[in-house]
Amino acid sequence: MMQKNYLLNKDEIVALGASLREIEPKILKKCQQPGITRMWFQGEEPYLDVFFELKDDEILWFQFTLRGKSVSWDYQKGQLQTGTTNELNCNDVSFYAASKTIENDIQPNLDLITSVKMILQTRAEEAIFAKALKLFN
């Protein structure tokens, strides 16, 4: 699949970062593994979500989705992965957030990774986003 150049302009980056709001933790499904906590930030755009799973304040898993694209990181793999979500498909199942699937890219989309990093940098003063930024080094 052809990868779209995913560079955003400065105003978009600032607006996307500023729009992220934490979802109340008690409405999130509890993890079955003890000691794992989850965090979810949602943006004003319909397909802007940031998810974290943490243990002892360390990120075990991270996922950032925007406009049908995804950047994720898992402690077992230790590297960033990009992909495409089914969120922009117009079938009945894709209207439910819990049904989102991601098809991983064969090669990481470096433009997308750069764009996501720049969005996270707008929130670098917050501990969770500062930790997430370390995953991009």
Is residue 110, in this structure, part of any structural domain at all? yes
**How many separate domains does the chain show?**
1
Note the pLDDT tens digit of each residue in 12-44. Answer: 999 999 999 998 877 777 767 888 899 999 999
Range of the domain at 84: 10-134
Nearest to 69 by CA among 14, 133, 16, 129: 16
Highest mean pLDDT among 3-12, 28-37, 93-102, 103-112: 103-112
pTM of the full structure:
0.85
Residue type, position 100, single letter: K
Burial class (CB in 10 A: 0-12, 13-18, 19+), 52: buried
Q: Tell how far CA 76 is from the center of its chain.
A: 17
Report in angstroms the alpha-carbon separations of 123 from 8, 9, 42, 85.
17, 17, 14, 24
Coil, strand or helix at 47: coil
Is residue 3, in this structure, part of any structural domain at all? no
Is residue 81, in this structure, part of any structural domain at all? yes
